[in-house]
Structure 1
Amino acid sequence: MNESFARFISQFKSRLFDLFHNESNINELSLERGLPQEMWKGIMDLKPLSVAVPTEFDGRGVKVEECLSILSAASYESLPLSLTFGINIALFLEPMARYGDEELKKVVFKRFIEEQAMGGLMITEPDYGSDALNMRTEYTQVADGYTLKGQKHWQGLTGMADFWIVAARKKLEGGDLARDVEFFVTDNGKAEQKIVVEKYFNNPGLYMIPYGLNNIDVTVPTNQKLILQSTGLKMMLDILHRSRLQFPGMGMGFIQRMLDESLKHCQNRKVGANPLTALDSVQYQLSRIQSSYTLTSGMCAKSTSISGVEFDLSGKGLEANSMKALVTDMMQEAAQICVQLAGSSGYKIEHIGGRGIMDSRPFQIFEGSNEMLYTQIAEIVLKHMRKSKETNFNKFLVQFEQTKLVADRFSKTLDFDLVADTLAQRQMVLIGQIVARLVCLQYVNEMVDKGFRQDLYDNCCKHMEMDVKRITSDLSSRNNAVPIVEYQEGSNWIDFI
């Protein structure tokens, strides 16, 4: 693993292209569940997951920039492949590197480097999705370890991963479960630790990745419990925030692919004597994707500096939620624009844009739905505003560390007061959307000082200013419409002609 990363990533990109375009057809592969075993072997022989293994275990050293680069290179060719790597890296290997027992690390990392093993994380349960603190999976300490019992679902790599990190709550003497959450590593290669798949789900996108319902009734030895550094809740936040801070890596390659495909099509497609790029509306749509490319570049740069395994990220909710929610919204928008610009050819499942719509859609839902994350962003900001005794949104943002470099651009639009007690949740979501844009735009601003292209930044600012004006308009309209559940009576149109 002493090979230079530039050479490593170059060979990885080249080999992926050959595998997906020359030796096989990615368009056909994308319509099948899973990948052929020889295809997986061709990919894993490149040791892409070595980027998330410490050097003392023959890995490349868990450097964030290398992890993000692998995710980006993979998502340029295949978003499901990138998510497969993302699950392994952010939800298994990095938690193992930070919290795993030293003897356990030797065994697990050796399997990843030498045997192409895979791992994932189990938190979500059938009756407790985002309400993770009320999960019912329980653990009991026994003489030589722990027994775990419960159900988990919608775990990426269901039935495919060799190792799992499983979240559970301690069963107390009275039968109740402890408030805190703890984490255990299971090895599917051992009968007493094997997690049984009850059924697989027919997910409409991300065909490469199996999802399903898992039944857990296992016993693991003592050293397969992750080592707490404070509380289980903080460990869970640290794991989830670190994962969300790596979403820009998956988004980077995907958005760049949408941009490259759209530019290529619009430059080559003629309307009369001119290419599509001569049309003003097309220029606007292309610049939207390019703006997303710019913002995601800033996110990747920032994530590299703050999300290493040496850091406790349990308190990085603003940064993590802003990146995850905004980049996944931009991924979906980029795919929609790519399809729109491609016309009828985009409406094919083998088209990269058409496929990208379905593959990127769940990114806005899993690891915290974006509405929930935007709400949490707003709550964080309002808490800071109360502490600083400032009610004016603009005055707060121009002195807030995470937005002060760019907030002046939005001073006229955001010059209004915010009173937390008067805000409905739908308004909190809008506030979160505004803040996320300013937070991530500041990441690009910081790159410009280091030589990043000024013209890309300037165009990005134009789109963010437009977005913030639109969202602020929605915020001030105070729409309080609610669904009418028993709506059928008196609403059949044919009765009124």
Structure 2
Amino acid sequence: MNEIIAMKKVSPETRITPQEPIQQLLGKLKEKMKLVYHQRGDISEYSKQRGIAPFALREIMAVNPLSIGIPKEYGGRGAIMSENLALLETASYESLALSLTFGINSALFLQPVGKYALNEAKADVFKRFMEQQNMGGLMITEPDFGSDALNMQTFFKENQDAFHLQGKKHWAGLTGWADFWLLTARKKSENDELLRDIDFFICDVTQKDQGIKVEEFYDNLGLYQIPYGRNHIDVKIPKKQKLKPQTTGVKMMLDLLHRSRMQFPGMGMGFIHRMLDEAVIHCKQRFVGGKSLFNYDQVQSRLSKLQASFTVCSAMCANSSKVAGVDKDLTGIGIEANSVKSVITDLMQEAAQSVTQLVGAKAYRNSHIAGRGITDSRPFQIFEGSNDILYAQISEGIIKQMKRLKEKNFFQFLKGNELTSRSADHLKKLFNFDLDLQLSQRKLVELGQVLGRVISMEMVFKLADNGFRNDLIQGGINMLQDEITALMSNFHLSPQPLVVEDYQQGSSWLDLV
């Protein structure tokens, strides 16, 4: 890992001017990826190795892609959301792991630092990103407190000139690799009680008393290029490196996480586009029974859903470009952000599974883009909020709004909500009923799956307004409508079976023959 870090510095003459047109920057990134993944190296071989080959990282970072996440006053491109999404899309067409590396740096480090850090802290951080190709990540999750982030046990005490943080963090992408970390901790009072609010600190691991000890590197199932592990935190952070929330630390965390979730479509865009291209090429070239796979009805069904997923993801990218900029407060958009993250990550996993099914045995290898895509896209449904939890939270948020408005009719509520008004009209027959506002947890999840797709359909309608081609729009709407219809049918089913704890008694088939 130290070898990789040592190779990251790039001489001044190789840097790219940050203000060049975005398409020019992305074009150079594509050329670098072509060079390292297909000419000087083989991406199928990289997929079997941990980490990124030093020369590959050096060539890719020579384009200075992370300048996209840095404010203009510090030499960057201005942290424009559409540009960041385009960067993630470009990278994920070749490598989902590389795209996630960019996403961790931009959404989970550079954007919050640019928005909430003190000016004296920003200057050094951004200078090193621009000139030395440093990297940064975020540590929230703890071994005993995963999704329960508000109960994290990492704590800090304030001294005369520094904050002393102690605790454990794990599953932080770029473990042992990043030069900077955003660390989260709760303040410990004089009577040793942890306060409820959460604070964020910039940790510079290259400085004295700020080193983070990696206790274990995890053998993550996919995303081999990104190191994960368990970290021991015992650092002293200068006071200038504490982020300053506009209100509370919890709201700052929500703003950060919601913005990050709104950027998942950038990673999903290139990935789904690649899955679609691979599937179409294979099906046109593969002949079975005297005709190409492309002409079989079931194959057309799979391909059309891949294409519809491409359209839905395009709609999400266009939407995030407008509503998720760093200048906006995203604290209160949990329903929208959770819908975007959960639906697009479901579509990513389904896309990889579908292409693997179409290609067959050849795809069931780590060296094949589709087979590798299954394991690389799977954790997207888990990190930054497990989809089951996010779907339940979507329903809880909607039900809370319905109670406040004293509205029980599901259609009437959706019709009056800006996130769902047009799609509700399109699906009136499915939604014209009184909703039970006291749902079980599993029904909250099922309803959240419906709502996530209804909100996604609204984004597709808006994409159509902007001139996206109509046949693709119709395919996206049809797919979402089919999924919503099936999910609503399941939602209305009454039986909710429970686990039989003593199932081993009287359940041996062998005793019956």
With normalisation by structure 1, the TM-score equals 0.99
2:130 to 113, 118, 140: 113
Q: Distance in 1 between matches of 2:243 and 2:52?
A: 31
Residue 461 of structure 1: aligned partner: 477
Which of these residues, 172, 178, 200, is aligned with residue 183 of structure 1? 200
Contact kept? 1:57, 1:109, Cα under 8 Å: yes
- Which residue of structure 1 aligns with residue 107 of structure 2? 90
Deviation at 1:407, TM superposition (A): 1.4
Q: Could you say which residue in structure 1 is the equivalent of 2:322?
A: 305
SS at match of 1:192: coil
Helix, strand or coil at the partner of 2:379? helix
The aligned counterpart of 2:400 is: 383
Per the alignment, residue 9 of structure 1 pairs with 26
Amino acid corresponding to residue 166 of structure 1 in structure 2: L
Q: Which of 18, 25, 38 lines up with 1:21 in the alignment?
A: 38
Task: Give the AA of the match of 1:458.
Answer: Q
The 5 Å alignment of 1:281-296 reads 281-296=298-313
CA deviation string 1:103-137 (max 9, x = no partner): 11110001111111010001000110010111000
State how 1:335-374 maps to structure 2 within 5 Å.
335-374=352-391
Alignment-mate amino acid for residue 489 of structure 1: Q
The amino acid across from 1:311 in the alignment is K
Structure 1 portions without partners, runs of 5+ = none
Q: How does 1:409-488 map to 2 (within 5 A)?
A: 409-421=426-438, 423-488=439-504
- In structure 1, the residue corresponding to 2:422 is in which secondary structure? coil
Structure 1 equivalent of residue 91 of structure 2: 74
| 1:246 matches 2:263 | yes
Shift of 1:73: 0.6
Residues 318 and 380 in structure 1, CA contact (< 8 A), matched pair in contact too: yes
Please name the residue that 2:5 is paired with: none
Q: Which residue of 2 aligns with 1:149?
A: 166
Q: Is the 8 A contact 1:427 1:478 kept in 2?
A: no
1:95, distance to aligned residue in structure 2 (A): 0.4
2:509 — aligned with what? 493
Q: 5+ unaligned residues in a row in structure 2: which ranges?
A: 1-17
Q: How many residues align?
A: 496
Contact 1:33 1:208 in 2 (8 A): yes
Aligned-residue offset at 1:205: 0.5
Residues 295 and 444, structure 1, Cα contact 8 Å, conserved in 2 = yes
Q: How far off its partner does 1:277 sit?
A: 1.2
Give the alignment of 1:255-334 within 5 angstroms.
255-334=272-351
Taking the TM superposition and a 5 Å limit, the aligned residue runs for 1:185-224 are: 185-224=202-241
Q: Deviations over 1:69-123 (max 9, x none)?
A: 1101110000011111110000000000000110111100011111110100010
Deviations 1:269-327 (A, max 9, x none): 11233211111111010111111111100000000111111111111101110100000
Tell me the amino acid that sits aligned with residue 477 of structure 1.
L
Q: Separation in 1 of the partners of 2:88 and 2:419?
A: 26
Residue 400 of structure 1, CA deviation:
1.2
Residues 19 and 76, structure 2, Cα contact 8 Å, conserved in 1: no
- Letter of the 1:480 partner, please give it: Q
The residue matched to 2:431 in structure 1 has which SS?
coil
Structure 2 equivalent of residue 55 of structure 1: 72
Contact 2:105 2:137 in 1 (8 A): yes
Counterpart check, 1:228 vs 2:245: yes
User: How far, CA to CA, are the matches of 2:330 and 2:244 in structure 1?
Assistant: 16
Q: 2: CA distance between counterparts of 1:203 and 1:450?
A: 41
Secondary structure of the residue aligned to 2:430 is: coil
Displacement of 1:479: 3.2
- 2:6 corresponds to: none
1:29, 1:339 → 2: CA distance? Answer: 20
Q: 1:104 matched to which residue of 2?
A: 121
The one-letter code of the counterpart of 1:405 is R
Paired amino acid for 1:402: L
Q: Separation in 1 of the partners of 2:466 and 2:330?
A: 25
Q: Distance in 2 between matches of 1:120 and 1:478?
A: 45
SS in 2 for 1:140: strand
Q: Which amino acid aligns with 2:40?
A: E
Letter in 1 for 2:296: L
Deviations 1:131-155 (A, max 9, x none): 0111000000001010000000110
Distance of 2:22 and 2:317 partners within structure 1: 17
Asked if the contact 1:75–1:252 (Cα under 8 Å) also holds between the matched residues in 2, the reply is yes
The separation in 2 between residues aligned to 1:126 and 1:479, in whole angstroms, is 36
Residues in 2 aligned to 1:160 and 1:312: alpha-carbon distance in whole angstroms: 30
Residue 133 (structure 1) aligned to one of 150, 168, 186: 150
Q: CA deviation at 1:404?
A: 0.7
Question: Following the alignment from structure 2 to structure 1, what is the Cα–Cα distance between the partners of residues 214 and 176?
Answer: 6
* SS in structure 1 of the partner of residue 492 of structure 2: helix
Equivalent pair of 2:166/2:235 in contact (CA under 8 Å) = yes
Q: Distance in 2 between matches of 1:182 and 1:478?
A: 44
Is the partner of 2:189 in helix, strand or coil?
coil
Identity among equivalent positions (%) equals 49
